[in-house]
A and B are shown apart, each in its own frame.
Chain A
């Protein structure tokens, strides 16, 4: 009898624990609202549905500040993270409870959502947007999106480790230099020379091949950038030239060869993003990963002292380009055309305020830690080393378009589910590189046609 009571208690505890855990697990996004009180202009309600989880506290701060100055406006901020997850969630959201402000990625999104997009061409921020940043959301002269920020990627390295191995940052700006530097460090790791100072260090690189957005989207982008100068150009291409495909292979092989799984590359297919970042670069288990400036907050959260040692190398395309970072705008703000006029006006005003007012700029730089995509942020500089490097490269023109893959057929269906998956097959030895190239071209054609 007593045993039964104990069991009943244990089960009850387990059920409540499970249901609690369920709640925590199912809350992919938080929904918070802020309301200003008092009389003012016409009442307006703005519902924001956005995807950048990392910046949701910063956006909430901006919302709170804005409504305290504009008491007639109510703003609800809702965040759902991730690429695919956001796209799927937006589809259902638009049917059930259409947001006033939402996010679009590039030409594919703009075309899919064209019936919902408000023309933003007359907005005051347009004249301050950096060159080329609006191309992918411009259709026949009309601008449908406001850039979130400027992001960029290349090879994020632990500069300190390389310098301790006798390799300087400046010597690695080209593919040959990078190879030489990586080889030097690899030799020192293998011989045990780095052991004293970096006890965790076990390889030069980690390569999270499980993530199709890494082996697909990111690694194919510099290759696509040799064919197309923008996502829009890729979006309009019926066929894929893929002329730098050999460089793609070189870079995949290059990255795999500096990992602990260099001999069993198939195993890389189970290495995920957090293993390479929080369990790799941030604990000095590896000295380099192919990533971008968005890793800063995660590294800082794991070990702030490591963040100070980081720097970013350009993404080389051997035989085609050297010394260029992939930069661009990953996501845009869009306003729902079907909202009523008062709400639309408030939405437009809020977006403009967040990126163009002095208070807004402070939040964008210091809280969201964005690299701004506007030219009027004088005196405000990103605080982390990766953002700084990116801004410098962007000013010097050492960049190539970083989000060309937003213009591939059916977005991630081609770049991740076809090319990303094929790279995984290649790594596990189930597909030759030639077959991969052929498949990528064939699928591009079929998916573009359908």
Chain B
């Protein structure tokens, strides 16, 4: 017993140390700065109490950014997981090229967010415009110049990037489901739709728990793609929370306010994540 306890700490300490230095301690320092007027440069730091939090809730751009991010997360999470699951169903069927397709669908995920953002920016602004002008489909012209097309653009990019990753997770789970269960249902006279709804989906719940958690936190915290694709434009209307916080810290030199925003951000992300975990965990069934 003694020995295993020593071993426990031996293995845990390095990780704990690193985690404390690069996550825990900066976070606690951040809590402190949230109550000051620090501009990120000067040596003078004044304590201002709750002032930063009051400022934030009067800041229309921050509130807009909050709503925008929430709406975006809802849409992106739904679409990414739906598409990821459908792709997983598709490529687990037996047909020539199924394995190659797995690789192809997964590939967007290997490209960094910044690069992706710039590639899609080119597609939306140059290629869409060219096609729109050539064919007379005017809705293809002027993408990313309005809030709606900016939103759609971000959504398309995110779905394109993340659904391949979710597909891999869902494939792994799909392959865990034993064929004997499905065969038994088939013998009992269930058609393939009924098998999907009553056998496959319930048994997929553990994967959905992970899939939802990852997509929710990834999309809510999205930064690179946002920065590269729209940079918040037009007129800061597609600025998501992470970018908004960055801009107030490094653009407007309001480090204190940015820290306060970051605390609210942390609380919200944690709350949503934990709630979702509890809800979906409850629905998981064992085979």
Chain A positions within 8 Å of B, measured between CB atoms, are 3-4, 6-7, 10-11, 14-15, 18, 21-22, 25, 84, 87-88, 91, 94, 112-115, 210, 212, 261, 264, 266-272, 275, 410, 412-413, 417, 421-422, 424-425, 428, 430
Contacts and interface: CB of A to CB of B under 8 A. Distances in A.
A4 B112 contact: no
B233 A7 contact: no
B145 A417 contact: no
B22 to A, nearest CB: 14
Interface in B77-91: none
Name the residue in B100, B102, B145 with the highest tally of chain A Cβ atoms < 10 Å from its Cβ: B145
Interface in B100-137: 100, 102-103, 106-107, 110-112, 114-115, 124-125
A112 B251 CA distance: 13
B144 to A, nearest CB: 5
Contacts of B251: 84, 87-88, 412-413, 417
B145 A7 contact: no
A58 B250 CA distance: 29
Interface string B22-40: 0000000000000000011
Contacts of B125: 270-272, 275
Contacts of A210: 145, 233-234
Given A21-B111, A425-B235, A417 B247 contact: yes
B280 interface: no
A18 B253 contact: no
27 contacts: A3-B100, A4-B99, A10-B103, A11-B103, A14-B110, A25-B112, A88-B250, A88-B251, A91-B40, A91-B41, A112-B253, A114-B42, A115-B42, A210-B233, A261-B142, A269-B146, A269-B234, A270-B143, A270-B233, A271-B125, A410-B252, A413-B251, A413-B253, A417-B252, A421-B234, A422-B235, A428-B235
Given A22-B112, A84-B251, A417-B247, A14 B145 contact: no
Contacts of A264: 142
A21 B112 contact: yes
Given A270-B124, A271-B125, A272-B125, 20 more contacts: A4-B99, A7-B100, A11-B110, A14-B110, A21-B111, A22-B115, A25-B114, A84-B250, A88-B250, A91-B40, A112-B39, A113-B41, A115-B43, A266-B234, A269-B233, A270-B125, A413-B253, A421-B235, A424-B235, A428-B234
B56 interface: no
Contacts of B142: 261, 264, 266-267, 270
Contact of A424 (B110, B111, B233): B233
A21 B110 CA distance: 10
Contacts of A421: 234-236
B152 interface: no
A256 to B, nearest CB: 13
A99 B48 CA distance: 32
A190 B115 CA distance: 38
B115 A21 contact: yes
B141 interface: yes
A112 B41 contact: yes
A6 B112 contact: no
A266 B250 CA distance: 28
B141 A267 contact: yes
Interface of B: 39-43, 99-100, 102-103, 106-107, 110-112, 114-115, 124-125, 141-146, 233-236, 247, 250-254
Contacts of B40: 91
Contacts of B141: 267
Contacts of B143: 270
B76 to A, nearest CB: 22
Contact of A266 (B106, B107, B145): B145
Contact of A417 (B103, B111, B236): B236
Interface of B is mostly: loop
A83 to B, nearest CB: 10
A18 B116 CA distance: 11
B42 A112 contact: yes
Name the residue in A11, A114, A267, A271 with the highest tally of chain B Cβ atoms < 10 Å from its Cβ: A267
Q: 6 smallest A-B Cβ distances: which pairs? A: A270-B145, A267-B142, A413-B252, A421-B235, A88-B250, A269-B145
Contacts of A272: 125
Contacts of A14: 107, 110
Given A210-B234, A417-B251, A424-B234, A266 B100 contact: no
Contacts of A270: 124-125, 142-145, 233-234
A84 B232 CA distance: 14
B250 to A, nearest CB: 4
A91 B250 contact: yes
Contacts of B234: 210, 266, 269-270, 421, 424-425, 428
B110 A7 contact: no
Nearest to B255: A91
Given A22-B112, A112-B42, A210-B233, A428 B145 contact: yes
Nearest to B101: A7
Contacts of A422: 235
Contacts of A87: 250-251
A412 B110 CA distance: 34
A268 B254 CA distance: 30
B235 A18 contact: no
Contacts of A18: 110-112
A413 B124 CA distance: 28
A185 to B, nearest CB: 22
Given A269-B233, A413-B252, A421-B235, A15 B99 contact: no
Name the residue in B233, B234, B254 with the highest tally of chain A Cβ atoms < 10 Å from its Cβ: B234
Contacts of A424: 233-235
Nearest to B37: A450
Name the residue in B43, B115, B143, B251 with the highest tally of chain A Cβ atoms < 10 Å from its Cβ: B251
A416 to B, nearest CB: 8
B146 A266 contact: yes
A122 to B, nearest CB: 26
A270 B146 CA distance: 8
Given A91-B41, A410-B253, A417-B236, A7 B99 contact: yes
A266 B237 CA distance: 14
Contacts of B236: 417, 421
B211 to A, nearest CB: 21
A272 B252 CA distance: 23
A385 to B, nearest CB: 29
Contacts of B250: 84, 87-88, 91
A7 B252 contact: no
B149 to A, nearest CB: 8
